[in-house]
Amino acid sequence: MNTPAFGISLEPRSRVERGLLGRALRFLHLDGWLLVGIGGVLLISLLALYSAEGQQLTELLDQVARMLVAFGALLFMAQISPNWLRRGSPLIYALGIVLLVMVMATGDIGKGAQRWLDLGVRFQPSEIMKLGLPMTLCWLLHDRPLPPSFGVLVVVVVLLVVPVGLIAEQPDLGTAILIVLSGAVVIFLAGLGWKYIAAVGALTGAAMPALWLVMHDYQRKRVLTLLDPESDPLGAGYHIIQSKIAIGSGGIFGKGWLNGTQVQLEFLPERHTDFIFAVIGEEFGLLGALALLLLYLLIIGRGLYIAAGAPDTFSRLLAGSLSVTFFFYVFVNTAMVMGMIPVVGVPLPLVSAGGTSMVTLMAGFGILMSIQTHRKLVAR
Amino acid sequence: MARALRIKDHWREQQLFTGRLLVAILFVLGLTGLVVARLVQLQVGKYEYYSVQSSGNRIRVEPVPPIRGLILDRNGKVLAENTPSYQLEMTPEQVPDMADTLTRLVASGILPEGDLPELKEMVASRRAFDTVVVAERLTDEELAAFAVRRPHFPGLEIRARLGRSYPYGTAAAHLLGYVGGISADDKKTLDPAEYAGTTHVGKISVERSFEARLHGTSGHEDVVVNVHGRKMQVLDRIRSLPGQDVILTIDMDAQLAANQGLQGKRGAAVAIDPRNGEVLAFVSTPAYDPNALSAGLSRRAYLALQEDLDQPMFNRALRGQYPPGSTIKPMVALAALHYGVATSERRVGCRGAFSLPGSSHRFRDWKPEGHGSVDLYNAIEQSCDVYFYTVARELGIDRLGSFLESFGLGSVTGIDIGGEKTGLVPSVAWKKKAFRRPGEQVWFPGETVIAGIGQGYLLVTPLQLAHAAATIAAKGQRFQPTLFRGTRNGATGTIEYEAPRPLPPVPDQEPGQWDAIIEGMHGVLQGPRGTARAVGLNAPYQMAGKSGTAQVFTIGQKEKYNAKDVAERRRDHALFIAFAPLEAPRIAVAVVIENGESGSKVAAPIARAVMDAYLKNPS
């Protein structure tokens, strides 16, 4: 029996494992707590989307279909043992790089940015990198002594810069930042020295002005809009103003499902995608928003618990990285919708309409489940 | 190398990882705390603020315009009303195939092909749920043509709209004015809240002057709208209150008689009740069609109106300034009596011309052979110029001028529509101010002489002339001319009348002085040698009047005036003033016809017709 980290156990393992449900979950390599959290979030997603999409059942069914596809990805990843995942990591990374280069060369242009690749199905190769990069870094660090040496760090930086550069060039700043963060989480969890962390922090601070210079106009505008949304109430500031009105006017208990005036009268833009958190805030109020955050914390907490109990460096780092990165998604979107950080175009994970990012996320959860459910076979 | 020799220490690495994991958990909890704090700040702290913002987003107050009051004549005849006209409207989002629908509309003859590009542009520029007018003022045939095809035109419907209409058309155009779209200039003077839903406003004359009474009180609807402005739901509705009906002093019989007489002429006729200043007829010709103007003229049609040589947009009754000619003579005679320059017995010899002492310049009488020896009665009856040259010289311009001013000449009468002109009563001081070159600033005695027969600098408006005629009829009593008799509340039917507004009377006259000039004016129409006796024949009532023929341009000393040689527009203006019945006058009239040549032959019959039309009804 493996000893969980911190000496605590979140569930009475023996009882669950004895029941029929427990055996079914074990057979499918699924994790009950993660499923509960994911299921709860998806349920809220369907409620919010039905309201945001003008109560159209067809749109909702589309999203259910995407959820099923994404669950298929989860199920698939959960069956692959962490050892195989580790061995496959560089391949996934290489595939991602090739596809990103193809995007640069031939990709479709959607909403002014060149992000999409049409290979039978249209998808964004940057999504592959969301998993491929942290996996590859974990693979790299797996049998190297930790904390990582300087030489290893140089390799890490190179592995990071190539895809991030390609993605930022599309331009897709939001995804680029999230991928940098996922990499940063990996080396932070790997025990990167505090002096490096301090140095990177100082460098980042110093690089801000330089970053301002290389930013696109629309990106600068978003930053300025954050500082003073009322300066451009009908232009760039409109999204933030309307979403703050939606959330603020929801109050503690919300206006009620399908009763949000900001949503139903279409004042809230991008309400079924990036700004769906404002739909939840308006219609379900503070209580609804907190419930959603609690479900997210359950997923993240469970992910970190799995990381703490993982048997080897690769699994440990990857589980931790996936969980913390997932939290970043949640934070960046909610903070953006509430006007705390600039609008970066990151969807609310599992809740915003759309298939690509959900497939990636669910595949990530499949990896977490694989780590959790295969460890007896691996570690013993 | 030391680094290369390092080996993995699993226990230490696990410890390190656990430590980092703890930091990550703290980090996650910290940022989550920030998000929660922000949520609380927005949803609890600033809830009130954002609630108001949210309501402001979705609730819009839509004005409900009031129905404009009617305009009635003194007998209740409707002069301006609101009539529904039918127009074809289209809601683009409900039209399944726009191109096909438009093609079929043209094919069925409802939509002129020329309107197609403009309509397409309008559809493209409006929001899909905004209705677009396809065709205005549909005829019965067009209505029927659409009605039978209606099932084939989803998204199109017939709508009735209220438009202003004037049943008498041009006959009351300058009196009533018209309504038009609210311009930027109008907006400066209108209450934006009251006019938020109103599309038309009175532009001129009665429609403009009584705008406040006619307009009514705006209502409003509180509606829920979505982000595109589409109406989703009506929350509250406050009805508008219709404007008051305005009752004018106009007698439509007199108005139509005046209009009839002036047809085909450039001129004006104004009739006033001498007992109270009520304007009974107010006509200026040619006139515009107020129905067309209120419906909206094309730019070209409007320019054509503006540039018409006959100036149909020009209100001659109110703003036309003409030399009064001989119509001034009764007033000059009264001034002579007042200042003791003449008595009713004084006789003046007339041999066809008058010269100032020490001057060879001959001021001609209209009758080259002269009138012989004339007294005051003869002088007015036969319009003897030499008599009035003589008394005017003796009066002097300043005494004559100030006396004419007491009749209201030289200043606005104060009638209740805007834009009135003052006319001109000259004086020595006026001339000094009006001219720049010193040589022209001097008042010449000859200018006094011609002022005696209403020529020279003297100018009057037809309205002033009618007012002066009414003042003579009332023997000096003056009332501010008014078009406003009262209001009628359209809902309750309650009528409120306005009291007459007296003006300072003409200075006291010795007994008999008024009668002397009125007798002369009676002679003009009904005396044996009256200049307009042909007009006064066979009248069922006694009347008084005075003709006038005013020179438009000066003829040289030796030339002879020959009307046929003079271009039509350089011919003399024809004027006439009159009042009746003689014993108790109820109507005073002034008629001015530009280039009409003869006051007694051209203007006088019109005055007679107006008086006939009015007096046939018992007061």
Question: pLDDT by residue (tens digit) across A232-269?
Answer: 666 657 888 899 999 999 999 999 999 988 888 888 88
Q: For residue range A38-86, what is the model confidence (pLDDT) as tens digits?
A: 999 999 999 999 999 888 899 899 999 999 999 999 999 999 999 999 9
- DSSP-derived 3-state class of residue B51: helix
Q: What pLDDT, on the 0 to 100 scale, is given for residue A18?
A: 65
Residues of B in contact with A335 (CB under 8 A): 34-35, 38
> Any idea what the Cα angle at residue B498 is, between residues B492 and B504, rounded to 5°?
175
More confident residue, B543 or B221: B543
Q: How many CB atoms lie within 10 A of CB A74?
A: 26
Residue B561, classed as helix, strand or coil, is coil
CA distance A127 to chain B (A): 23
SS3 per residue for B492-516: CCCEEECCCCEECCCCCCCCCHHHH
Supply the pLDDT for residue A55. 87
Model pLDDT, residue A235: 62
Task: Report the pLDDT averaged over residues A121-150.
Answer: 88
- Out of A185, A245, A313, the one facing B13 most closely (by C-beta) is A313
DSSP lists the bridge partners of residue B479 as: B502
Residues of B in contact with A346 (CB under 8 A): none
Q: How many CA within 13 A on the CB side of residue B593?
A: 26
> Which pLDDT belongs to residue A182?
93
pLDDT of residue A5: 45
Residue A142 CB neighbour total at 10 angstroms: 19
Is-contact A184 A156, C-beta < 8 A?
A: no
Contact criterion met (CB < 8 Å) for B34 and A151: no
Structure tokens at B573: 């203006």
Residues of chain B with Cβ-Cβ distance to A320 below 8 Å are: 17, 20-21, 24
User: Which residues lie closer than 8 Å to B455 by C-beta, 6 or more apart?
Assistant: B323, B325, B550, B551
Rounded Cα–Cα distance for residues A114 and A108 (Å): 6
Nearest Cα to B136, choosing from B122, B152, B151?
B122
Label residue B2 by pLDDT band (50, 70, 90). very low
CA distance A217 to B553: 75
CA angle B83, B84, B87 (to 5 degrees): 140
Chain B: give the shortest CA distance to residue A151, in Å: 10
Task: Read off the pLDDT band of B545 (50, 70, 90).
Answer: very high
Give the pLDDT confidence score for residue A378 in this predicted structure. 41
Report ipTM (2 d.p.).
0.90
Residue A17 in domain:
no
Range of the domain at A190: 32-379
Among chain A residues, CA nearest to B40: A286
Structure tokens given for A330 = 């949640």
A316 has a chain B CB within 8 A of its CB: yes
Q: Does residue B402 register a pLDDT over 60? A: yes
Question: Which among B9, B47, B57 has CB closest to A251?
Answer: B47
Residue B20 has pLDDT above 70, yes or no: yes
> Do the Cβ atoms of B50 and A290 come within 8 Å?
no
pLDDT value, residue A6: 45
A-chain residue closest to B20, CA distance: A189
Residue A313 distance to chain B (closest CA, Å): 8
**Mutation target vs B (from A265, A314, A324; most B CBs, 10 A cutoff):** A265
Closest by alpha carbon to B615, among B593, B590, B575, B588? B588
pLDDT digits (tens, 9 = 90+) for B298-329: 788 888 988 888 899 999 999 999 999 999 99
Q: Which residues of A touch B57 (CB under 8 A)?
A: 242, 245, 261-262, 265, 267
Question: A338 and B35: CB-CB below 8 Å?
Answer: yes
Q: Region A219-236: what's the mean pLDDT?
A: 68
Q: Give the per-residue pLDDT at B554.
A: 55
Distance from CA of A219 to the nearest CA of B (A): 23
**Cross-chain Cβ contact B35/A334 below 8 Å:** yes
Model confidence at B490, pLDDT cuts 50, 70, 90, reads confident
Query: What pLDDT does B443 receive?
Result: 93
Note the pLDDT of residue A223: 73
| Cα B558 to Cα B537: distance, rounded to the nearest angstrom | 37
Mean pLDDT of chain B: 89
Query: How many Cβ atoms are within 10 Å of B541's Cβ, its own excluded?
Result: 13
Compute the nearest-CA separation of B30 from chain A (Å).
11
Examine residue A27 and state whether it is found in any structural domain, yes or no. Answer: no
pLDDT score recorded for residue B80: 96
Residue B115 DSSP class: G
| CA–centroid distance for B543 within its chain | 31
User: How high is the pLDDT of residue B55?
Assistant: 87
pLDDT above 90 as % of chain A = 52
Q: Which residues of A touch B54 (CB under 8 A)?
A: 245-246, 248-249, 261-262
Asked if residues A185 and A320 have their Cβ atoms less than 8 Å apart, the reply is yes
A196 interface with B at CB cutoff 8 Å = no
pLDDT score at A4: 44
Determine how many CB atoms are found less than 10 A away from the CB of residue B619. 9
The predicted pLDDT at position B452 comes to 94
CB-CB neighbours of B188 under 10 Å = 7
Q: C-alpha distances in angstroms, A139 versus A88, B6, B15, B298?
A: 9, 18, 20, 80
Which residue of chain A has the CA closest to B30? A331
In a domain, A10, yes or no: no
Other beta carbons less than 10 A from residue B86's beta carbon = 17
pLDDT at A169: 81
Q: For chain B, say whether A335 makes contact (Cβ under 8 Å).
A: yes
Strands (DSSP E) found in chain A? 108-110, 113-119, 121-123
Task: In whole angstroms, give the CA distance from residue B447 to residue B20.
Answer: 114
- On whether residue A316 sits in a domain, the answer given is yes
Residue A1 has pLDDT above 60, yes or no: no
Pairwise CB contact (< 8 Å): B54 & A262: yes
Segment among A11-20, A326-335, B148-157, B279-288 with least mean pLDDT = A11-20
Q: What would the mean pLDDT of B99-117 be, rounded to a whole number?
A: 83
- Write the CB contacts of A345 (distance below 8 Å, at least 6 apart in sequence): A172, A173, A174, A274
Q: Residue B509 contacts by C-beta under 8 Å, 6 or more apart in sequence?
A: B334, B337, B338, B475, B476
Of the candidates A95, A171, A174, the residue with the CA atom closest to the CA atom of residue A357:
A174
Q: In whole angstroms, give the CA distance from residue A197 to residue B289.
A: 86
Residues of B with CB below 8 A from A190's CB? 17, 20
CA distances from A156 to A135, A324, B514 (A): 12, 19, 120
Two tokens, residue B282: 């107010």
Domains and CATH numbers, chain B: 63-248 (3.90.1310.10), 252-292+315-615 (3.40.710.10)
What pLDDT, on the 0 to 100 scale, is given for residue A118? 66
CA neighbor of B138 nearest in space, from B89, B196, B80, B73: B89
Provide residues of B within 8 Å CB-CB of chain A: 3, 6-9, 13, 16-18, 20-21, 23-25, 27-28, 31-32, 34-36, 38-40, 42-44, 46-47, 49-51, 53-55, 57-58, 224-228, 232
Tell me what pLDDT residue A170 has. 78
Does residue B338 surpass a pLDDT of 80? yes
**What span, in angstroms and rounded, lies between the C-alpha atoms of B575 and B270?**
12
> Would you name the residues of B annotated as active-site residues?
326
Each residue of B163-173: pLDDT tens digit? Answer: 899 999 999 99
Max mean pLDDT among A17-21, B10-14, B232-236, B272-276 falls in B272-276
Tens-place pLDDT, residues B600-613: 899 999 999 999 99
Residues 87-146 of A with CB under 8 A from B: 143-146
Query: Chain A interface, mutation test: which of B43, B44, B53, B57, most A Cβ atoms within 10 Å?
Result: B43
The pLDDT value given to residue B118: 81
* Chain B residues within 8 A of A189 when measuring between CB atoms: 17, 20-21, 24
What pLDDT score was predicted for residue A348?
95
* Angle, helix A237-250 to helix A276-309, in steps of 10 degrees: 80
Ordered strands of the B544-550 beta sheet: B279-285, B267-272, B587-593, B573-580, B544-550
Which among A172, A188, A183 is positioned nearest to A93, based on CA atoms? A183
Q: What is the pLDDT of residue B405?
A: 96
- Interface touch A313/B44, C-beta < 8 Å: no
Query: What pLDDT, on a 0 to 100 scale, did the predictor assign at position A121?
Result: 59
Q: Which residues of B touch A191 (CB under 8 A)?
A: 13, 16-17, 20
- Closest CB to A338: pick one of B28, B42, B51: B42
The answer to whether B286 and B612 have CB atoms below 8 angstroms apart is no
Question: Which amino acid is present at A91?
Answer: L
For residue A197, being part of any structural domain is answered with yes
Report yes or no: A308 and B21 within 8 Å, Cβ to Cβ: yes
Farthest CA pair distance, chain A = 62
A200 neighbors A212 (Cβ within 8 angstroms)? no
Angle at B90 between CA B89 and CA B92, to 5 degrees: 160
Return the pLDDT at A217.
78
Chain B residues within 8 A of A150 when measuring between CB atoms: 3
Residues of chain B with pLDDT > 70: what percent? 97
| B43 to A6: CB separation less than 8 angstroms, yes or no | no
Q: Which helix (H) or strand (E) covers residue B420, if one does?
A: none
**pLDDT grade, residue A119 (50/70/90)?**
low
B367 neighbors B333 (Cβ within 8 angstroms): no
Q: State residue A378 phi and psi, 5-degree precision.
A: -85, -50
Task: Residue B40: list chain A partners with CB under 8 A.
Answer: 286
Residue ranges of A 348-377 with Cβ closer than 8 A to chain B: none
Report the alpha-carbon distance of residue A304 to residue B415 in Å, rounded.
Answer: 92
What are A183's two structure tokens? 């990499």
Residues B557-571 have pLDDT tens digits of: 555 555 555 577 788
Q: How far is CA B518 from CA A314, B150, B474, in A?
A: 125, 70, 10
A148 pLDDT band (50/70/90 cuts)?
Answer: confident
Tokens describing residue B238: 């406050």
Residues paired with B579 in a beta bridge? B544, B588
Is the peptide bond between A171 and the residue preceding it cis, with omega within 30 degrees of 0?
yes
Q: Model confidence over B72-84: pLDDT tens digits? A: 999 999 999 998 8
Say how many CA atoms lie within 13 Å of A320 toward its Cβ.
34
pLDDT tens profile A77-115 = 999 999 999 999 999 999 999 988 888 877 655 555 566
Q: In 3D, which of B424, B332, B426, B428 has the Cα closest to residue B387?
A: B332
Q: Whose CA is closest to B163, among B263, B84, B48, B53?
A: B84
B14, B16, B21: best to mutate for the A interface, most A CBs within 10 A: B21
Residue A18 lies in a domain: no
Question: Does A254 reside within a domain?
Answer: yes
CA of B226: which chain A residue's CA is closest? A265
Q: Would you state the pLDDT for residue B564?
A: 57
Write down the pLDDT at residue B585.
96
**Token digits for B30?**
């910290």
Total domains, chain A: 1
* Residues of chain A numbered 216-255 and touching chain B (CB < 8 Å): 242, 244-252
Contact status, residue A133 vs residue A163, Cβ threshold 8 Å: yes
When CB atoms are compared, the residue of A189, A300, A308 closest to B28 is A300
Position A84 in a domain: yes
Q: Report the pLDDT value the prediction gives residue B94, as an integer from 0 to 100.
A: 81
Query: If you average pLDDT over every residue of chain A, what do you get?
Result: 86
Confidence of residue B48 (pLDDT cuts 50, 70, 90): very high
Element (DSSP H or E) covering residue B392: helix B385-395
